[in-house]
Amino acid sequence: MKAKSFFLSLFVIIVLLAGKASAQNKKFYIFLCFGQSNMEGNARIQPQDTIVDPRLQVLETVNCPNLKRSKGNWYTAVPPLARCNTGLTPADYFGRTLIANLPGDITVGIVNVSVAGCKIELFQKDIFKDYAATAPAWMVNMINEYGGNPYGHLVEMAKIAQKYGVIKGILLHQGESNPNDTLWTQKVKGIYTMLMKDLHLKARKVPLLAGELVNEDQGGKCAAMNGIIDKLPEVISNAYVINSAGCPAAPDKLHFTAGGYRMLGTRYGLKMLELLGYKAMVTSDPLPVQTKGNSGK
């Protein structure tokens, strides 16, 4: 009986220790990012972008031998943050802005699953297969890097991330491929609602930040879509729109320059800091930061 009691006690201790080892770190803030090319990152990464505080981490979502990174593992968030050969993204300076203003014991993790050129339909759980079946070959290759299902891949990676930290928000940048789509806000709402369900999250605790496309003041070819994006808070109570005014555009007027990504990413970060209850002390955005949407948590 004594031996049985001893082994039972030992088993309980092992289970408790194992549970403690795998418990979430509540000071590891996770942010999910998805969208098309601007969230994927289009601008060339410059030397200044490669100096990164180790408190800013990225969960590698695909195998990248060229970066010496493996799918499902955390690394210091030196860009690229989407796939192996993508560029600078708003997520880069979103994360840096958080790290510069959050207490030193808080770590930030980025999980980015984005596909250049895709419509929002690619992330709709019920119709993505139909959309992918009509996608051009160059896009199919990117979709296949995510197992043919970018939404499912985002959820898979998010669940891995949840083993280490707590999901605090979602970043979206998409719309160039859905011009004049008045149903876009409803489609995004469906994706957001499904993410809440699949990841067992509470919408009131997980804000959605959506960035505007290249602004009219920069000659943005899809700037008219911003009028639709700006309506997102009307259908998602915890959604906020990040203004792109003044963010420099690349010559194609669809993407941002590296400076534009830094500026837009900083604005994402400043808004998230506000929602987290922190006052920003540092900002690299030389222009007034304007955000649209609800003002409360």
Residue 166 backbone phi and psi in degrees, to 5: -120, 130
Catalytic residue annotation: 37, 252, 255
Which amino acid, 274?
A: E
Judge whether 191 and 52 are in contact, CB under 8 Å.
Answer: no
**How far apart (Å, rounded) are the C-alpha atoms in residues 129 and 109?**
29
Contacts of the segment 68-75: beta carbons below 8 A, 24+ positions apart? 72/157, 72/160, 74/109, 74/164
Among residues 127, 116, 226, 133, which one has the least CA distance to residue 177? 116
Residues 6+ away with beta carbon under 8 Å from 87: 40, 41, 42, 43, 44, 45, 79, 80
Q: How far is CA 247 from the centre of its chain?
A: 19
